[in-house]
Chain A
Amino acid sequence: MTNAMAKARGVGRLAITAGLGLALAAGPYAVAYAEPGAANTPVEGEYASPSYRSQVNGESTGDTKLYVIGTQDNLTTSEAAADENIKVSIPVAIHYVADSEGNLTGPSDNMVKFVNHTKLGSVHVSGIAVENAGDARIAPDADNLEDDQMSFFVRPVAGMSDEAGSTFVPTELPEGTPATQRDQLGNYASNAHGAEQSPANKNDWNIAQKHGALALNNLTGRIGGFKKIDPSTDYRVGAIHWTVRAGTRSQADKRDASVTIHYNSNNGSNVGCVPVEDQTVEVLQSSQLPNVQINDAGMDTALARGASDVTPPNPVLQADGSSVSYGFVGWNTQANGSGTFVSKVSDLGSAQDLAGTVQEVYAIYEAL
């Protein structure tokens, strides 16, 4: 404990919220601030109807404004979107109190939580970035903290939360794992905002279907000492940027690992089947190639299509851009890391099975 810590008057109040920005920007705030295209949230089934009435002499009149809120930009019937909104309640500030021993106390277990209001299904936390603010530094190592360095612990616990209350069932920690080392926010401190990092214990961050919730428990921490941080004021020490995504984490992994290629046959030639169009992939480096296997459904599909042998692949990116067989799909990439997928159907028994069809091979990939 440092002298500066000892000078701290017992407690300090810290907050993890947004950091400070000091770019001076004067201007007509009302014009710049409000979104001109924003409309009131439509209420289903409620519409105002105009009514017309003749004025009678001697009768006083008053104005009642009638508002009509359109649910679409025009009155033609538009196709409903195939999906719904992803709607999630996310904690955007967590307050801690620091005592003179350097302990940080946050809210109780099962209080700070994500809640899934999405109708379509599960969501998951796909990215975390922790930013420092002011003179505070958030570090991963709770045992070796310097002045103004602090570490925060968090333990995600899945449950349900609705009007009737919340239920959370803590998962068992692996034997011998100190609770404080399960998830430390400092582990995500090196990731700049905008480059969020996937949670380390990725399956702990799934949030079930509607009313599914994820509580952030064990909200405690340590601070090494107060030097530049003034413990007598509310001090914002950083910001956590959470990113959520539809589906569970494993579903998202599967989507990321899978590739959908549409095929057209080319006059029945065995090697002539080509994709309907080249499909560009963003980045393909060896380390980023999805480690895939062909699942049972995919094997059945491939065999049904005439594949004589579908070997589970171990993809290796060739620097010279040559393709590597994936059984009946090949990679053809460019040396700069980006490139196009092209099909390679040499393992298909007969491309005529594909004649006249457009098929997807989405199902054959599954992330390990």
Chain B
Amino acid sequence: MAEHFCKVRVSARRRGAVVVLLLTLVVAGVAVALLLGWGDPRARKGYYEGKTPDEIREDLDSQVDWYAMEISVASTMQVEEGQTRVEARLENVPNNHCDQKVRMYPTGHPEDVLYQSGAIAPGEYVQYVDLAYALPKGTHDVTVEFQGYERTPTLVSDEGALLGHNRFGASAAAQVAINVVGSDT
């Protein structure tokens, strides 16, 4: 009797797993159909055959403003020795057309990440950030890099993330100074 009961339970679990799997596949299939089935993969932007250079430029000019991204960050920051909380005043200005993620690293050493933000929407700001580690006393040249992202998620982003966001153009950066002062200063 006990053995039979166990078999029933195992069987129920298996059925549950199958149902979950099927549901997942259905949802994924619907998502793929919705996201990939709508746009024609052969569609291109612009039609330039037979256009004069001036006409081509006119079309390219119309996109320039859209792809201008404003960055805003404190030009110098100050932190007490041994502390990691810094007033960075990272701002994604309301006029931007993209979300922004911000990364900070010592200039010339992008692998040494001091700070990495999540996405900051246009009109949002981050006043203070916590550095990954306390910098030694002195003045440090730091690069604050802003990467824009499309606001609408896509099925697989250009960075390979499922339901991620494609990058909005190239990154842009500001070179700033972080002054680490003694606690008695």
Contacts and interface: CB of A to CB of B under 8 A. Distances in A.
Are A and B co-members of a single complex?
Answer: yes
Interface of A: 9-11, 13, 16-18, 20-27, 29, 32-42, 72-73, 81-97, 105-108, 111-113, 115, 117-118, 120, 126-127, 131, 193-196, 232-234, 239-246, 279-280
Given A85-B73, A85-B91, A33 B119 contact: yes
Interface string B48-59: 110001001110
Contacts of A36: 118
Given A16-B170, A234-B44, A27 B161 contact: yes
A90 B69 contact: yes
A363 B11 CA distance: 83
A13 B75 CA distance: 37
A20 B158 contact: yes
Contacts of A17: 167, 169-170
Contacts of A37: 117, 126, 128-129
A25 B159 contact: yes
Contacts of A22: 159-160
Given A18-B170, A21-B159, A232-B44, A89 B68 contact: yes
Given A85-B73, A240-B170, A97 B127 contact: no
A86 B174 CA distance: 8
A18 B158 CA distance: 9
Interface of B: 44-46, 48-49, 53, 56-58, 60-61, 63-64, 67-76, 87, 89, 91, 93-94, 99, 101, 105, 108-111, 117-121, 123-129, 136, 138, 143, 145, 147-148, 153, 158-165, 167-176
Residue from B58, B75, B105, B159 with most neighbouring chain A CB atoms (10 Å): B75
A38 B125 contact: yes
Contacts of B174: 86, 88, 243-245
Contact of B161 (A18, A26, A108, A234): A26
B7 to A, nearest CB: 35
Contacts of A105: 53, 56-57, 60
B87 A81 contact: yes
A63 to B, nearest CB: 24
Residue from A25, A85, A108 with most neighbouring chain B CB atoms (10 Å): A85
Chain A to chain B: the 10 pairs with minimum beta-carbon distance, closest first: A92-B169, A194-B110, A35-B118, A93-B169, A239-B170, A93-B67, A38-B124, A90-B172, A18-B167, A245-B175
Contacts of A42: 125
A120 B168 CA distance: 28
Residue from A34, A42, A279 with most neighbouring chain B CB atoms (10 Å): A34
B48 A86 contact: no
B72 to A, nearest CB: 4
A358 B8 CA distance: 85
B126 to A, nearest CB: 5
Contacts of A194: 105, 108-111, 143
B173 A242 contact: yes
Contacts of B171: 18, 92, 193, 239, 241
B170 A97 contact: no
